[in-house]
Amino acid sequence: ETGVTQSPTHLIKTRGQQVTLRCSSQSGHNTVSWYQQALGQGPQFIFQYYREEENGRGNFPPRFSGLQFPNYSSELNVNALELDDSALYLCASSLVPGLGTNEQFFGPGTRLTVL
Amino acid sequence: KQEVTQIPAALSVPEGENLVLNCSFTDSAIYNLQWFRQDPGKGLTSLLLIQSSQREQTSGRLNASLDKSSGRSTLYIAASQPGDSATYLCAVPPGGQNFVFGPGTRLSVLP
């Protein structure tokens, strides 16, 4: 069984640029959620994808967008980067979205630094 | 809106001590609660998942309890070891959707 993987591990961008982060879900999982974790804080929910459709969104602006592919892998895109976007971006996969036994399994994260 | 707090923010103990980490949440209408461990700069490792119908879960030296009515969960670590040093986060899914996380408790176990 393959765990959740993310790429790249580290990324440095400048203000105004665009970035794409990638996530491969755990084998058999069809739901992917993305979180942003600023230094010293708990992760904040960005959005979730289930069967290639967005299935819930946190309090993040539209310049944060995503995709899910037929193999359930996912991308997080951030446009017009701001300094405050510097954070660890975590991807989590689960067997089903939402209710009940939605235990989530996290990847190692992508550390984004915006200069 | 669900809010999750964790006390203490940081804890330093000598090796071998038993310790308790606390998690509180404001909305008791939860489906489950999950405890995670995070090493510096790394992703989250799931430790325990407690369903709303359960009172506690155990895994090795870890025991987590859940009291929905009072909005509290505790993580008990027995016979702590230096390898337990990490940040411990609790998380609850409001209405069964994605997790709302607490800020974490940073634990240092001194040899």
Reported as a single tens digit per residue, the pLDDT across A35-90 is: 999 998 999 999 999 889 998 888 999 999 999 999 999 999 999 999 999 999 99
Residue of A23, A45, A74, A94 best to disrupt the B interface, most CBs of B under 10 A: A45
Instruction: Please indicate whether, in this complex, the C-beta atoms of A106 and B43 are within 8 angstroms of each other.
Output: yes
Strands (E) across A14-104 are located at 19-24, 31-37, 44-50, 53-57, 64-68, 74-78, 87-94
Decide if pLDDT at A97 tops 70.
no
Residue B30: partners with Cβ closer than 8 Å, 6 or more residues away? B2, B52, B68, B92, B93, B94
Each residue of B19-76: pLDDT tens digit?
Answer: 999 999 998 888 889 999 999 888 899 999 998 889 999 999 999 999 999 999 999 9
pLDDT tens digits for A3-47?
899 999 999 999 999 999 999 998 888 889 999 999 989 999 999
Backbone phi, then psi, for B24, in 5-degree steps? -125, 145
Q: Do β-strands A10-13 and A110-114 pair in parallel, antiparallel, or remain unpaired?
A: parallel
pLDDT for A22 equals 98
Residue with tokens 């103990």: B13
Please name the residue of chain B whose CA is at the shortest distance from the CA of residue A6: B43
Asked if A42's CB is within 8 angstroms of B98's CB, the reply is no
Nearest to A86 by CA among A1, A10, A33, A7: A10
Question: For chain B, how big is the Rg over CA atoms in Å?
Answer: 13
CA-nearest residue of chain A to B48? A103
**Measured between CB atoms, which of A6, A48, A90 is closest to B44?**
A90
